[in-house]
Chain A
Amino acid sequence: MNMIQTQPHAYKPADYKSAVKPVWCPGCGDHSVLVSFQRAMAELALPPEQVAVVSGIGCSSRLPAYTNCYGFHGVHGRSLALATGLKVARPDITVIVASGDGDGFSIGGNHFLHACRRNVDLTYIVMDNRIYGMTKGQPSPTTEPDWDTAISPGGTGVSPFNPLVIALASGANFIARGFTGDVGSCARLIVEAVRTPGFSFVQLLSPCVTFRDDQQKEWKKVTHEAMVPETDDPGRAARRLMSDDGFNLGILFRGHRAPYQPKPLADLDVARLEAEFAL
């Protein structure tokens, strides 16, 4: 196992857990994401009050209240925008965004592009179950075209998109994929994502046991560690992401883009500005 630079053991995973009990179905991958998150935070030894977890709406977006950090459970699809405002206003806070494939890629798709492009120092964890769990199993932008649902009988017939390719093309600085069946690896990806400056995108394949009962077992079989080490070359990363099977796990790209963080020029007295108007 890969040993990552360790910190003084100031915190335990349990320090990042709140008293609120998850509503998630037992067996749902999101439980594992929560555990991975707690482990990652303990590893990073971040005081819980220095961390904010921002989300939208969906089963996955319920995550913030289950942590003992500051949290914002906002509206559907807008978590990245809210997190961007928070991070730009409070660069001292570690901001993690929790989302789902519907929340992040469908209704929030535009914000995804611009968050990658803007490269604010955020960690974006998308719990991808290729379905809308919260609204009872409608197809999302990552659902297979032949997946039969009530709203798309016989399947949508529409190809899913590859969010990792889009993240790369849009300028994300860190791109990784994990599977919730392996909590330790997911935690490691989160740690690396947080440590890498700029916008870090972590797709966590997180089975929905209620509306996608095919996923849990299948993904255990088909997911595999990436064969090649991470790259910082966007060209190589592009070829790799375009041709991968969607189950390649690990850090797939890590670039060197400087994060976007506008800095106030000065903190002068506002009253001075009357010079703008005085004749």
Chain B
Amino acid sequence: MSASQAAEGLSIVLTGSGGAGVMTAGQTLLEAATSCGLYGLMTRSTGPQIRGGEAAAMLRLSTKPVQCPDDKFDILLALDFENVQRFAAELPLDSRSVIVADPSAGEMPAFLKASGAQVGYVEMKKLAKTVAGGRISMVALGALAHVVGLPESAIVEAVAASLGRKKPEAVKASEDAVRLGAVNAPALAVPKLRISTARPAGRWSFTGNEATGFGVLKGGVKFVAGYPITPATEILEWLAHTIPQCGGELLQAEDELASINMIIGASFGGKPAMTATAGPGLSLMTEALGLAVASETPVVVVDVMRSGPSTGIATKSEQSDLNIAVYGLHGDAPHVVVAPLSISDCLFTAQWSVHLAESLQTPVVMLSDQSLGQARVVVDRPQDVTFDTKRLTPVDPIEVYERYALTESGVSPMSLPGMAGGQYTADGLTHNARGTPSSQAQDHVAQMDKRRRKIDRFDFGEHWAEIEGDGDLAIVTWGSSTAPVREAVARAREEGISVRIIALRLISPPQPKLFEAALKGVRRALVIEQSHSGQLWRYLRAHYDMAAEIVSIPQPGPLPIRPGEALAYIRKGAQA
């Protein structure tokens, strides 16, 4: 790595096993770095063991905001080498990387040796033993801080903040251990991080899942039901302690069939409602999603996608639920599918999802994924957005009421239990305007037209996609693939390749006119996504007329799409 790049940022991975504390250490390092003015990102990877397994805390620290992992790691700090080869594919290193290891850890695994990385040793274990209550991870952090140019004091303060004031001895022990690590740090040719002395104001730290929780609350959600599933559980856990403070409730359901039906019930009662799940849960919910479509009951379902099919790799990301989210419902069931374009954007997109569901009286599926949901970022405080979110209700007093009246917009006033004169029976059976079950052709068609119309005519505004750049080469992407693609586009520009990026936040309904305009003048479009079968590409082919040459670039999980990989596609795509 060149010195100038290093000053911009560093990617660091801490590995260790047996409860050595790499996750906590990673968190401490992120906190210390942000106290020195840096932005950051932290993701994690673990073995299958419930306790004591091998783990990797992967950080990217930078002077600029970052939303995805970089191409490779500059530093690997190994507390031990237990099973670290499990992560080999996730830990790209090269000859410019450095490895900090404990000499007592034994033989270095082949993949690390093969990387050609420079190696420096610290006797972390031995040093930790010399301090009463000293932890190996603290010695490691001390050494690391020295190597990357973070002040020891920042680490110590971060430790103290996490331990709290109640444990002065533990803080003291950590302080001593950190200092020992720093003093004994190996001399390695690593450019130092560019830091500032004061923590800048207005920074936030959150995971995509937490941001999603906050977003739905900002959208007005008052009822949540859910069933635990990786990697969506943190949304439910975050909401469990926050929603009761905001006039709402969260219920743990007996399964996903229950959670989706519970939120439909709550929403029927007039409370904006949501659930969070992952692919297996979404599969169970599809029947009731159809019910929400037919009965025109607004709900938000957040699917934090993981590698599928079936149980797949529960802890790893993939954008492979696009098909089920769009097409999973039986019958003709128009609904809305959206996807956040970055970890931070989980906040906006979740809030928008509630707005769309409530405005359109239809289910909205938000396709987040593991790489967004479980990654933590430190960013500038996101801008506040407000929507004029209001569910259309009948005017009081209700005279003659037709719940499914055939309105121009397709949205009909929805009465709520308690409103006299507004009684109706919501139904999944084909019904007429009054809501009475009907198998008449004209009722079926009229109601299907109406449900289609309300979604087709809705003005989704500028939020449907984020479009940047120009040139005759475009990248079409969505959701979590957007962040690495954006970085690649920025690098391509530095190389003189102009690339347009069209990142879709609104997957369904398709926006043919807007898309056509966005693609104007494009000769070739690369469709970059994290799936095996090219689900987005197939979706685009099905719904859009595209004059440009379309190249499908599907890359399945579980490995993230890295900016350098996207750059390579761009370089190739830019050739005639």
Residues of A within 8 A of B (CB): 18, 20, 47-50, 52-54, 64-65, 67-75, 77-79, 81-90, 92-93, 110-111, 113-114, 262-274, 276-279
A65-B425, A270-B218, A273-B214 given; A86·B268 CB < 8 A: yes
CB < 8 Å: which of B246, B251, B257, B421 contacts A273? B246
Beta-carbon contact of B265 and A89 below 8 Å = yes
**18 A-B pairs whose Cβ atoms sit less than 8 Å apart in the complex:** A49-B419, A50-B417, A72-B264, A73-B426, A73-B427, A81-B258, A81-B262, A82-B265, A84-B262, A85-B263, A89-B269, A110-B255, A262-B244, A273-B217, A273-B245, A276-B214, A277-B206, A279-B199
In the bound complex, CA of A111 to CA of B284 (Å): 14
Q: A89-B271, A279-B205 are in contact. List 17 more A-B contacts (CB 8 A).
A: A67-B425, A68-B423, A73-B437, A75-B428, A82-B268, A85-B263, A85-B265, A85-B267, A85-B269, A89-B223, A89-B249, A89-B270, A263-B244, A267-B247, A270-B246, A273-B246, A278-B202
Q: How far is the CB of A190 from chain B (nearest CB, A)?
A: 19
Tell whether B429 is near chain A: CB-to-CB under 8 Å.
yes
Q: How far is the CB of A75 from chain B (nearest CB, A)?
A: 5
A interface, by DSSP: helix, strand, loop or mixed? mixed
Beta-carbon contact of B262 and A85 below 8 Å = yes
Q: How far is the CB of B51 from chain A (nearest CB, A)?
A: 27
In the bound complex, CA of A67 to CA of B424 (Å): 9
Beta-carbon contact of A85 and B266 below 8 Å = yes
Tell whether B288 is near chain A: CB-to-CB under 8 Å.
yes
Tell whether B295 is near chain A: CB-to-CB under 8 Å.
yes
Beta-carbon contact of A88 and B258 below 8 Å = no
Tell whether B133 is near chain A: CB-to-CB under 8 Å.
no
Closest-by-CB residue of A relative to B34 is A279
Beta-carbon contact of B423 and A49 below 8 Å = yes
Beta-carbon contact of B273 and A89 below 8 Å = yes
Most chain B beta carbons < 10 A, residue from A52, A69, A71, A85: A85
* Residues on A with beta carbons closer than 8 Å to the beta carbon of B244: 262-266
In the bound complex, CA of A92 to CA of B425 (Å): 19
A50-B418, A93-B418 given; A81·B265 CB < 8 A: yes
6 pairs of A and B residues whose beta carbons are closest in the complex: A71-B425, A85-B265, A85-B262, A89-B266, A267-B247, A86-B265
* Residues on B with beta carbons closer than 8 Å to the beta carbon of A273: 214, 217, 242, 245-246
Q: How far is the CB of A115 from chain B (nearest CB, A)?
A: 9
Closest-by-CB residue of B relative to A70 is B417
CB < 8 Å: which of A74, A262, A271 contacts B428? A74
B interface, by DSSP: helix, strand, loop or mixed? mixed
Q: How far is the CB of A128 from chain B (nearest CB, A)?
A: 22
Most chain B beta carbons < 10 A, residue from A68, A77, A82: A82
CB < 8 Å: which of A70, A93, A263 contacts B424? A70
Tell whether B66 is near chain A: CB-to-CB under 8 Å.
no
Q: How far is the CB of B354 from chain A (nearest CB, A)?
A: 11
Beta-carbon contact of B218 and A48 below 8 Å = no
Beta-carbon contact of B225 and A85 below 8 Å = yes
In the bound complex, CA of A277 to CA of B212 (Å): 12
A65-B436, A279-B204 given; A85·B245 CB < 8 A: no
* Residues on A with beta carbons closer than 8 Å to the beta carbon of B206: 276-277
Tell me which residues from 463 to 511 in chain B have a Cβ below 8 Å from any Cβ of chain A. none
* Residues on A with beta carbons closer than 8 Å to the beta carbon of B263: 85
Q: How far is the CB of A263 from chain B (nearest CB, A)?
A: 8
Tell whether B253 is near chain A: CB-to-CB under 8 Å.
yes
Closest-by-CB residue of B relative to A79 is B261
* Residues on B with beta carbons closer than 8 Å to the beta carbon of A68: 423
* Residues on B with beta carbons closer than 8 Å to the beta carbon of A279: 34-35, 199, 203-205, 378
CB < 8 Å: which of B34, B211, B222 contacts A89? B222
Closest-by-CB residue of A relative to B249 is A262
In the bound complex, CA of A77 to CA of B254 (Å): 14
Closest-by-CB residue of A relative to B223 is A89
Beta-carbon contact of A72 and B295 below 8 Å = yes
A72-B425, A82-B264, A279-B203 given; A268·B269 CB < 8 A: no
Closest-by-CB residue of B relative to A54 is B265
* Residues on A with beta carbons closer than 8 Å to the beta carbon of B413: none
Q: How far is the CB of B161 from chain A (nearest CB, A)?
A: 10
Q: How far is the CB of A170 from chain B (nearest CB, A)?
A: 11
* Residues on B with beta carbons closer than 8 Å to the beta carbon of A71: 423-426
Tell me which residues from 184 to 234 in chain B have a Cβ below 8 Å from any Cβ of chain A. 199, 202-206, 210-211, 214, 217-218, 222-223, 225
In the bound complex, CA of A93 to CA of B423 (Å): 13
Tell whether B144 is near chain A: CB-to-CB under 8 Å.
no
Tell whether B237 is near chain A: CB-to-CB under 8 Å.
no
Beta-carbon contact of A78 and B288 below 8 Å = yes
Beta-carbon contact of B268 and A72 below 8 Å = yes
Q: Using an 8 Å CB-CB cutoff, how does the interface string of B444-462 with A read, 1 for contact, 0 for none?
A: 0000000000000000000
Closest-by-CB residue of A relative to B241 is A276
* Residues on A with beta carbons closer than 8 Å to the beta carbon of B378: 279
Q: How far is the CB of B21 from chain A (nearest CB, A)?
A: 22
Most chain A beta carbons < 10 A, residue from B203, B245, B269, B437: B269
In the bound complex, CA of A1 to CA of B35 (Å): 78
* Residues on B with beta carbons closer than 8 Å to the beta carbon of A274: 204, 214, 381
* Residues on A with beta carbons closer than 8 Å to the beta carbon of B427: 65, 72-73
In the bound complex, CA of A88 to CA of B238 (Å): 20
* Residues on B with beta carbons closer than 8 Å to the beta carbon of A110: 254-255, 257-258
CB < 8 Å: which of B205, B251, B429, B437 contacts A277? B205
* Residues on A with beta carbons closer than 8 Å to the beta carbon of B425: 18, 53, 64-65, 67, 70-73
* Residues on B with beta carbons closer than 8 Å to the beta carbon of A277: 204-206, 210-211, 214
Closest-by-CB residue of B relative to A23 is B437
Closest-by-CB residue of B relative to A77 is B257
